[in-house]
Structure 1
Amino acid sequence: MNFQPAAISGNLVSRTWSGDMIAPLSDGGQGTAASFVSKTFEHDGTKLPAELFISALGLYRCFINGVRVGSDLLTPGWTNYDDRLAYQRYDVSNLLKPGLNRIEIWLADGWYRSPLMWGAQAIPNCWGDRIGAIADLIGADGTVLSTDTTWRSGVLPILRSGIYFGEIYDARQENCVETHGTEKLAFDKALLVAHETAAVRELRPLTAVENWTDDEGRTIYDFGQNAGGYIRYTVRGTAGAEVRVEHSEVLGPDRHFDNRNYRTAAAHTVYTLRGNGDETYAPHFTFHGFRYARVTIKGDAKILAIASIPISSVPEPAGGFTSGNALVNRLVENTIWSQRANFVEVPTDCPQRDERLGWTGDAQVFAATACWLSDSQSFLRKYLRDVMADQREDGAVSHFSPDPTRLHPANFPGYAGSTGWGDAIVVIPWVLYTHYGDRAVLSECLESMVRWVDFVWSISDGPLVRPPSRWGDRGFTFGDWLQPVGDNRKPRPTIADDCAATLYHFISTDLLARIAATLGEHALEEKMKQRANEIRRAFTNEFITPAGRLAHNDQTSYALAFLHDLIPAEHRQAAQQHFRQVIIDADYKIGTGFIGTPALLPALTKLGMDDLAEKVFLQEDVPGWLYQVSKGATTIWERWDSMAPDGTIYEPDMNSYNHYAYGAVCQWLFESVAGISPSPSAPGFAEVIVDPAPIPSLSPVSAYHDISQGRIEAGWHCDGKKVTYVLTLPEGCIGWFRPGKRHQNPSLNGEPVVEEAVLAPGTHRLVFSLPNS
């Protein structure tokens, strides 16, 4: 093969291209019919194997002699296209034939120029207004067929497509006619890098569990699972008949189809039949978030088969957790499905409405859970590069990446700099280091980390962060987004912006000191340690009363402060009692939002308040994790109160039923309930911290996690107060168990454990008793 990498940095691989980026002159611009570029060429059938290197501005699908190249979806993917553009590499030997061959590259708007963001302010042509393709087809002898202006172009039967819009397809126009030429675009080939993560792929199809006809004769299909993907169906009918498919996540109280929460996203497909036998269709350049599909047929046509096709960048599970509680098991499944639906090239907030953006806050709180449930290393590393590309000159990190607003600040000014969100640049690399031993990601992101913590310090020029209240002002923070307040006649206490911002200011600064130490950057380590201590002292003076009560007396403040050791020793006992009382006063209901929720149960477990952790986790009222499961949720909701007990949809203007953030509780299930954690001192699961915190009502519990060395398995069951815990570690992985107060009279493999035990690879049996309440 004639493939020689021109440059390698981290896992970024570039190459020398012969082809040019060419644009179809048939293209009418954003929102018009999709176009193709094509070339007919001679091949003698002997110059094999053959490889195709290909990318595009927009989205592409490639066909050689009418056969699709590969099965990857939504290629070339989504990056900050002014920073990096992915290319793909395919072996196409079996697609070539002796004599005349034809290569055809279909092009559509995709993320590159579809309107992005929400409502009337959506930004079209965000990264450019010309779609184009670049390709090199290389034979075994080094001969190259490349894109140049001798290629021709024409329009496709895809009359319109868009990420939020959906797709309109007229099968009567499938005879793609070359009507125009092509034009070479001014394009920097240095931007092209090999695809940095796994391709988006289809998962197993989901068949409908039920269907019915509404009052207007439309058929509604329930596929039983909310997912990110599309509908594929086979239809038979006359030419010109039309099939329209609309999507929704939920039904109204009377089972009526309701997708108001999609806002301005049309999220539909329209297929016009060619009328010659069975016809199978699925959209080419878009996807949707849905459980239900409403099918409207105009003319003479009949659906013969229909399925929901989930798609994901992380289709294979890497971990699982089951217990004796069916609702908890479903909660874990819901989290897995939300991750799959939202890990499509970028970790998005939701897959359905006019948004679908890579919010940094959501990704930050969920990153560890993501790594437990799937191999997310390359996916999150790719995302971090987009975060760094979007970072502003003053160090502010975008609210989401890739960030459409960065290139169009007039539309959305000030969309960067929120604490809890921008901290993704520090937190996610550390997660990748601990889970995968990825030291390189720490080095790659270090400069951006420093710029971020310096930015946060600069908001108020000191250790206390006092963010402005107006959205878009420098240093604005989302605080503890969507923190529930309870009864509006007597709302529960919530954290204030200055406290939330200062807490995260400490978290990232303290973590950066640890990262600097790991990298041997000792001057930076010392600087960040001193700064973290200054923030700690300022936090104590500002937010902790002499009686040990936190200023806002809310669950988020206590959870984050305890979890990150911000409560001075002299106040810990009193603050713990205040924390306990706040939980009790809330009737064990959750009082935390996006940044507080992942910390709540780990903080209670750390403090030994297992009774509270159990009651908070297992209560089934709103707000609560199991409430949404009891209401039939099959993915994680954006809001605790996304649906009322009577089935009424709450606030359709901002209400997603497929948001993974609150699924971050699964990290606690693995690390506390199942008792296995990666050790930062020996990352990549070379060492495992073994510290089970059993919740007796969940018995029996079983968990597994696949790592590079093999599979870790952990499980336990309770017999009264007696716990039998069984752990299996693969070769290359050892465990450390240190008995705590919840491990009374522990024995390991029949021998008593006094202080600390090392668990070699293999299966171990740990028996202990839970303390009396």
Structure 2
Amino acid sequence: MMITISCFVLTFYILLLPSSIHVQQLCSSLRPRRVRIDHHDVDTHRDIVVERPIFSWLIDDEKYSCNGTSLRGIHQIAYRLIIVKEVSFYSPIQKSVVIYDSGRVMSSVSTNVLYDGPDLTSDTRYKYSIQYWSSTGAISEPVSGRFRTALSNPKNELTANWIGSRHINMNELRREFYIPQGILSATVFMSGMGYGILYVNGVNVDPSRRFDPGWTTYTQRVLYVSYDIAQHLTAASMNCIGVHLGLGFYTHEQWGGGTPSPAPEVFGPPPRLLLQVNIVLSDHTTMNISSDTTWLGREGAHRKDSVYMGTIYDTRAERYNWSSVGFTDPYSLWLNASTIESPLTSPVGQLTYQSMDPIRISPYALHIATSASRTGYDSMPPGVIGGNIMNSGVFSATPLANQQVPTYDVSQNIAGYCTLTITGRQGMTVSTRHAELLNEPGIDGIKYQGLNAANYQIISASDDFIIQGSPHEVLVPMFTYHGFRYISVYANYINIESVVCAAIHSETTLTGNFTSSSLVLNQIQHNILWSQLSNIMSIITDCSQRQERRGWLGDAALSVDTALFNFDLYGLYVNFLRNIADVQHQDGSIPDTAPYSVGGYVADPSWAHAYPEITWRIYQHYNDTDIVKIHYAGVQAWVDYLTSRARQSGLANFYFAYGDWETPANYPVTNSSLVSAFSYLSDVQTMIILSKILNNQTNIAKYSKLYDQLAIEFHETFYNSTINGYAKGYQTANALALKLPDVVPSNLRASVVKALADNIAANDNHLTTGIIGTAALFPVLSDAGYHDLAVTVATQTTYPSFGFMFNNDVQNATTNWETFHALLKGFGGTDSLNHHMFNSIGAWFYRYLAGVQLNGFNEDLIIRPRLTRLLINVEAEVQTISGPILVSWELHDDDKTVTYDVTVPSSLHSIITFEPIEPMAHCLSIEESGILVWHRSSPLVETTLSGIIWIRPDSMVDNAMSIRVDSGSYHWKVRWH
């Protein structure tokens, strides 16, 4: 039943409990924390738009009244969710309708709670209230907030037309309109191809957004965005809306060359706009303002915009009040827009709300959720070079000496742009050029350093401005970004007052941090963070500087686990999966890129591996079963396609395109069919896991049988008994075979592991693997009992190694490179210095060095730090959807003691494994917060200390001890002898 009540009564109503429930006193200090709606954190997202809401929240910390320490083992036993339909956010006297009240739901679940009430109305404002009951008997305060809905059926609900011009570069459009009375709500739904910026009555509605909507396969799917603009409008008055358009990726420059069949889609130009304003007036009638031929447009001040080639911007053509009421322009010709065709040409083309976070300009692009004071990231770990990620992402560039052209160092390789403040005369030109590298003076007759843009290949990465001549003029490029560390400013007789550069990327939150006693590992972590941020631009790009910036699936597959440990990127990866599904072919095959722009029409198996891999990793990090359901059939179709190809060729001749891509120069490349076969078997294994998640018993049996057959074939095909290894015994071949379950027979496993270790030793403890082999190498070594060797390889600083990237005589890296040999003398020169496909090592930091095993939160959280005397300490933090996980350990050599600090999120249990310092060491005693809980001489020590469930020798790891605990924070001291 729909109930209409006043605001005051609503507040009281939300606090009421069902009369049948015995109510304990409300604990006013408790409240749900970190509420998320559709995985958007309400604390960082002020305007949340949903299609059908999914709620998550954390339960609050509870403390002992006597000493203020936190209780352990607390969990939610029930919750209550109320949804209220609001007529308006803005009306001082508003009526609201309660459309859903769950009552007291007996459940410990507080993540991914799907709203299951009546269908929500399109383009409507709602208020929610969440309250929970704790296992301690406490009752939380209800917390409330607002969200609104997207369009239920945009194809039918949008009456607007796509508009633009085939005759001029119409990238600035405006429309005036009269609003006759008060406003209850006003919403814009807009898609600009490729990008659009919205102005209302002279105000940029959200100046931190400049790259909306995100890149898709435009013929099949176009994203639209939405703005709540009621606060910007004036009732009983004329109003004006204006839109700046940029081409973005909707351009002929998307043509990738080559002869793929069929060819990738070629989009644009001209720029075009679809926009509709839905206004609810104070008498509850509605009015719509839609894009049509009554809009006026012109070519604005930006004469050229290109993501790749940069901007040409004539500031003399700026009209500062162009989106204000009453604007007249005696100098520019404004023409009526024309109706122009939709980008959607596919019969099944869809206009879809952009539910993922937008691309934003720093300092609005990155939120911080980690506890900076604990992780030490308040200031960067000692010795780490580059930009502090905890800062705003805005850099005051430093002028460099020994430069013929004024050149500035940002100190951090970023994806972004620079704002110049200058003074000069009207009509003069200021040009900027960007690069990741400087020339070396004295080489090949070079007197001055200058920019080395060889790795930009065929693009210019330039911005050119014609200035107005006003004092302290500010120059900002539009609709473009560059990947760079250095910027040169070409300006004759112009005073350059400042150069300030800002990072640009999809909005996200830093949710993870890793530090250790190793400067090398800390710098690798730093470089991982920045190379990931530089390559999240509504899709996961490969690099940020040259003519690519494509959605290469291989790169995305390799870095996803690391990315989700470090950043909250749920929406970005869900959108990326949808992009993959959009380009999947009827036979189940997938191209190398999504959206498809370059690469093979049928992907290398290690590239299309992204489809099952990302699906599985989202489940692991977000406990999201729905994403598995949505993409299960698509993943199965891909696995079945691979099976059909394998039956034609056998694994020995299995098809490939790239193999172990970017194997270090001067080192041999592993058999590429083996690499493809590894990815195929991995996908079958993931198919089994996804089938278990969905309890699809038929497919569990089907693909388990297939995997068993393939495991035998892989071994029989590639095993070489003369070298006790696979193929020719290179590191990648043996690491991949060992990574696959049940491929290496148990009686041969030790000899294959030894062959891998011997090969590493023969290469002076260096890796010789490309991107596929590197991702497997470190986990395989750690699992095989060679954890010290894995750490040794990871901390090398000579070629080839991660450390060589920031210990060479050319330039020390602040992001990861495309290749290990990018700046090796005699090699490279055109390789990217900001890539994320080698970021896979970062997952090993969290899963092995810190021991945090995320696997969906449906079972005990496994925490198993791998110890090594090569490190003194390790500290890691992951802010998960279920709450914070913190793990740190430190070695104390004086008395063979290891101390651990571990925090387990509320409502979870954890099994913590303490490994011996040395293989033959035995555990002597375990203390928790200074209390002896286990001793070797008396193993049945009382373990009823709060939070400890049991303590016992580990059944899988020799001489290790395992402890099962409730949620809470623990301080352990473990002694060995």
Structure 1 residues 220, 359: CA separation in 2 closer, same or farther (over 3 Å shift)? same
Residue number in structure 2 paired with 1:242: 429
> Do the aligned residues in 1 keep the contact of 2:198 with 2:241 (CA within 8 Å)?
yes
Q: Deviations over 1:516-541 (max 9, x none)?
A: 12112221221111111111000111
* Pairing of 1:362-511 with structure 2 (within 5 A): 362-405=555-598, 414-461=600-647, 464-466=650-652, 475-484=655-664, 486=666, 491=667, 493-511=668-686
**Displacement, 1:42?**
1.6
| Cα distance in structure 1, aligned partners of 2:649 and 2:265 | 41
Amino acid at match of 1:699: I
Residue number in structure 2 paired with 1:619: 796
Residue number in structure 2 paired with 1:472: none
Structure 1 residues 120, 530: CA separation in 2 closer, same or farther (over 3 Å shift)? closer
* Pairing of 1:683-762 with structure 2 (within 5 A): 683=858, 687-720=860-893, 721-738=896-913, 740=915, 744-745=922-923, 747=926, 749=928, 750-752=932-934, 753-755=951-953, 756-762=962-968
Residue number in structure 1 paired with 2:972: 766
Amino acid at match of 1:419: P
**Aligned-partner SS, 2:803:** helix
Residue number in structure 2 paired with 1:60: 196
**Displacement, 1:164?**
0.5
Of the candidates 316, 340, 354, which is equivalent to residue 195 of structure 1? 354
**Displacement, 1:253?**
2.5
| Cα distance in structure 2, aligned partners of 1:649 and 1:228 | 27
**Displacement, 1:377?**
1.4
Structure 1 residues 48, 169: CA separation in 2 closer, same or farther (over 3 Å shift)? farther
Q: Which has the higher helix share?
A: 1
Of the candidates 251, 263, 271, which is equivalent to residue 465 of structure 2? 271
> Do the aligned residues in 1 keep the contact of 2:866 with 2:915 (CA within 8 Å)?
no
**Displacement, 1:65?**
2.0
> Do the aligned residues in 1 keep the contact of 2:719 with 2:726 (CA within 8 Å)?
yes
> Do the aligned residues in 2 keep the contact of 1:544 with 1:550 (CA within 8 Å)?
yes
| Cα distance in structure 1, aligned partners of 2:576 and 2:761 | 40
Task: Indicate whether 1:638 and 2:818 are aligned.
Answer: yes
**Displacement, 1:395?**
2.0
| Cα distance in structure 1, aligned partners of 2:971 and 2:769 | 37
Deviates more, 1:83-92 or 1:337-346: 83-92
> Do the aligned residues in 1 keep the contact of 2:160 with 2:276 (CA within 8 Å)?
no
| Cα distance in structure 1, aligned partners of 2:151 and 2:671 | 41
| Cα distance in structure 2, aligned partners of 1:270 and 1:113 | 20
Structure 1 residues 104, 120: CA separation in 2 closer, same or farther (over 3 Å shift)? farther
| Cα distance in structure 1, aligned partners of 2:610 and 2:595 | 14
Residue number in structure 2 paired with 1:606: 783
**Aligned-partner SS, 1:507:** helix
> Do the aligned residues in 2 keep the contact of 1:248 with 1:258 (CA within 8 Å)?
yes
Structure 1 residues 364, 190: CA separation in 2 closer, same or farther (over 3 Å shift)? closer
**Displacement, 1:124?**
10
| Cα distance in structure 2, aligned partners of 1:483 and 1:41 | 61
Residue number in structure 2 paired with 1:17: 157
Residue number in structure 1 paired with 2:440: 253
Amino acid at match of 1:206: V
Deviates more, 1:171-180 or 1:113-122: 113-122
Structure 1 residues 162, 757: CA separation in 2 closer, same or farther (over 3 Å shift)? same
**Displacement, 1:651?**
2.4
Task: Indicate whether 1:629 and 2:746 are aligned.
Answer: no
**Displacement, 1:763?**
1.5
Task: Indicate whether 1:351 and 2:544 are aligned.
Answer: yes
Q: Deviations over 1:539-596 (max 9, x none)?
A: 1111123464222201112222222222111111111111111111111111111111
Amino acid at match of 1:403: Y
Amino acid at match of 1:241: M
**Displacement, 1:190?**
6.5
Residue number in structure 2 paired with 1:115: 253
**Displacement, 1:485?**
5.2
Larger radius of gyration: 2
Amino acid at match of 1:423: H
Residue number in structure 1 paired with 2:122: 5
Q: Deviations over 1:481-503 (max 9, x none)?
A: 011253xxxx4x53201111111
Q: Deviations over 1:90-118 (max 9, x none)?
A: 12123223532221111121111140255
Structure 1 residues 278, 717: CA separation in 2 closer, same or farther (over 3 Å shift)? same
Amino acid at match of 1:583: I
| Cα distance in structure 1, aligned partners of 2:692 and 2:151 | 26
TM-score normalised according to structure 2 size: 0.72
**Displacement, 1:242?**
1.3
Residue number in structure 2 paired with 1:283: 477
**Aligned-partner SS, 2:509:** coil
**Aligned-partner SS, 1:265:** coil
**Displacement, 1:662?**
1.2
* Pairing of 1:15-94 with structure 2 (within 5 A): 15=154, 16-25=156-165, 28=168, 33=169, 35-44=171-180, 46-70=182-206, 71-94=208-231
Of the candidates 168, 173, 181, which is equivalent to residue 336 of structure 2? 181
Q: Any stretches of 5+ residues in structure 2 without a counterpart?
A: 1-86, 89-119, 125-148, 323-331, 363-391, 442-448, 935-950, 954-961
Q: Tell me the C-alpha RMSD between the 2 structures.
A: 2.6
Residue number in structure 1 paired with 2:71: none
Amino acid at match of 2:310: G
**Displacement, 1:664?**
1.5
Deviates more, 1:717-726 or 1:116-125: 116-125
**Displacement, 1:679?**
2.9
| Cα distance in structure 2, aligned partners of 1:634 and 1:126 | 35
TM-score normalised according to structure 1 size: 0.90
> Do the aligned residues in 2 keep the contact of 1:236 with 1:279 (CA within 8 Å)?
yes
| Cα distance in structure 1, aligned partners of 2:793 and 2:636 | 37
Of the candidates 259, 266, 282, which is equivalent to residue 126 of structure 1? 266
| Cα distance in structure 2, aligned partners of 1:36 and 1:326 | 50
Q: Any stretches of 5+ residues in structure 1 without a counterpart?
A: 406-411, 469-474
| Cα distance in structure 2, aligned partners of 1:617 and 1:611 | 10
Task: Indicate whether 1:103 and 2:103 are aligned.
Answer: no
Amino acid at match of 1:198: D
> Do the aligned residues in 1 keep the contact of 2:592 with 2:602 (CA within 8 Å)?
yes
Amino acid at match of 1:600: L
Structure 1 residues 387, 134: CA separation in 2 closer, same or farther (over 3 Å shift)? same
Residue number in structure 2 paired with 1:149: 293
Structure 1 residues 770, 507: CA separation in 2 closer, same or farther (over 3 Å shift)? farther
Task: Indicate whether 1:513 and 2:688 are aligned.
Answer: yes
> Do the aligned residues in 1 keep the contact of 2:864 with 2:912 (CA within 8 Å)?
yes
Structure 1 residues 700, 13: CA separation in 2 closer, same or farther (over 3 Å shift)? farther
**Displacement, 1:512?**
0.3
**Aligned-partner SS, 1:145:** strand
> Do the aligned residues in 2 keep the contact of 1:327 with 1:630 (CA within 8 Å)?
no
Residue number in structure 2 paired with 1:557: 733
| Cα distance in structure 2, aligned partners of 1:77 and 1:554 | 41
**Aligned-partner SS, 1:431:** helix
**Displacement, 1:121?**
8.9
Task: Indicate whether 1:537 and 2:692 are aligned.
Answer: no
Residue number in structure 2 paired with 1:171: 315
| Cα distance in structure 2, aligned partners of 1:120 and 1:501 | 23
Structure 1 residues 36, 592: CA separation in 2 closer, same or farther (over 3 Å shift)? same
Amino acid at match of 2:876: A
| Cα distance in structure 1, aligned partners of 2:193 and 2:123 | 21
**Aligned-partner SS, 1:197:** coil
Structure 1 residues 178, 55: CA separation in 2 closer, same or farther (over 3 Å shift)? farther
Structure 1 residues 693, 463: CA separation in 2 closer, same or farther (over 3 Å shift)? farther
**Displacement, 1:356?**
0.5
Task: Indicate whether 1:660 and 2:839 are aligned.
Answer: no
Residue number in structure 1 paired with 2:112: none
> Do the aligned residues in 1 keep the contact of 2:652 with 2:718 (CA within 8 Å)?
no
**Displacement, 1:54?**
1.0
**Displacement, 1:41?**
1.2
